[in-house]
Amino acid sequence: FTVRELRAVVKGPMCWVRVGTCGSPQEHVSLGDIALGTDGYVSITRNPDGHGPNPVEGAARYWFSRPIKGDEQMHTLLEEELAKELPKGAIRKGVCGSACTFYSSQGRVLPHFND
């Protein structure tokens, strides 16, 4: 909603960079690394039918969108600026996901947060 509301009151070009926390089940990705979605971004949405005390048999627990590519020039500029500040190897490129849940969609299944 933020983008839509600001677009209504800002004249001219706008540029958005989404920054958020991330988790990764990949062992080669370390704490403090920065992930750039150079190969696209996917939306990961929790499927209510796949959770709860009576999940629908065979229902997917999560839905994944097709990757959506971001602006290549913006990725290049962002990577160049990050490279000035981060240790070599701290920038990871690939597909990034944005999820409606926090822990489980990042591969962190915790008993206190059954999402």
Model pLDDT, residue 25: 65
Residue 67 is predicted with a pLDDT of: 95
Q: Residue type for 29, please?
A: V
Strands 62-64 and 34-46: antiparallel
Residue 75 CA to chain centroid, in angstroms? 15
- Give the per-residue pLDDT at 62: 87
Identify the bridge partners of residue 96 per DSSP, sorted by sequence position: 41
Closest CA to 16 of 30, 27, 2, 31: 2
Going along the chain, which residue ranges are E strands? Answer: 34-46, 62-64, 91-99
25-41 pLDDT per residue, tens: 677 788 788 888 899 99
Query: Mean of the per-residue pLDDT values for the chain?
Result: 84
User: By three-state DSSP, how is residue 115 classified?
Assistant: coil
